[in-house]
Structure 1
């Protein structure tokens, strides 16, 4: 039973964030490996495709436009899975290793912040349903 499409989407986002954390950890672990290229994951398109899949069936939330001067929503891509790519551009070392420790630690901190925000949102979502169930049990 699906409680909420948002809950399923947040769970998928947590999985992508965990995969990104593993990739960043692997990059840091290979900071001294010759010819190692740092990797990252692009999952924004994947989450948009997952959201579109969850919204199918007439339950799409439309962007309200009450004035002709409002901006219109963006169309999403059709990608269905996360894309792992090489994060190049930091080839300053003689051993052809592209890992920049400053970039990796910054990306890890950003990823951890987003992961914690998703966990907090899931907890809040669960607390709302728990309070409704508790209130209905008292009636």
Structure 2
């Protein structure tokens, strides 16, 4: 197992997700007054459900473990356009209050990930220095 596999790789993927979500939210906010603009969202649960419904196969370290597999995809999330609502008379469906709330939640999530990643690198630095 490599040095940056496991927790650090998971944190990296989570930061990618949070960055994509921030980009989509920012784009929605920027287009709040654009006629016929359909809001977009980043979804993870949909991708997870698709992966679960597929076939799983992984290394089993114990015969009592359940067999499963997961074919890796380039992204663990998708950007989806919301077409089923309309909030403004000009065909725009961006709800600015919802977008600002999602932006605040995503910023807190992102900062938590950055803090955790910083802690992991701090631990590595301590190990490299020999515990000092």
Q: Above 0.5 in TM-score?
A: yes
Q: Is this contact kept in 2: 1:90–1:100, CA < 8 A?
A: no
Q: Mark the runs of 5 or more structure 2 residues left unpaired by the alignment.
A: 52-57, 62-67
Look up the match of 1:40: 41
TM-score where L is the length of structure 2:
0.73
Q: Mark the runs of 5 or more structure 1 residues left unpaired by the alignment.
A: 50-55, 60-74
Q: Whole-Å Cα distance in 1 between the matches of residues 8 and 96 of structure 2? A: 34
Q: Whole-Å Cα distance in 2 between the matches of residues 10 and 96 of structure 1? A: 38
Deviation at 1:76, TM superposition (A): 9.5
Q: Whole-Å Cα distance in 1 between the matches of residues 34 and 100 of structure 2? A: 17
Q: Whole-Å Cα distance in 2 between the matches of residues 58 and 128 of structure 1? A: 30
Look up the match of 1:85: 80
Cα distance 1:134–1:117, how it changes in 2: closer, same or farther (>3 A)? same
Cα RMSD after superposing both structures? 2.8
Q: Is this contact kept in 1: 2:87–2:95, CA < 8 A?
A: no
Deviation at 1:89, TM superposition (A): 5.6
Among 112, 115, 126, the residue aligned to 1:131: 126
Q: Is this contact kept in 1: 2:87–2:94, CA < 8 A?
A: no
Aligned residues: 115
**Is 1:111–2:106 an aligned residue pair?**
yes
TM-score where L is the length of structure 1:
0.69
Q: Is this contact kept in 1: 2:22–2:106, CA < 8 A?
A: yes
Q: Is this contact kept in 2: 1:90–1:99, CA < 8 A?
A: no
Deviation at 1:16, TM superposition (A): 1.4
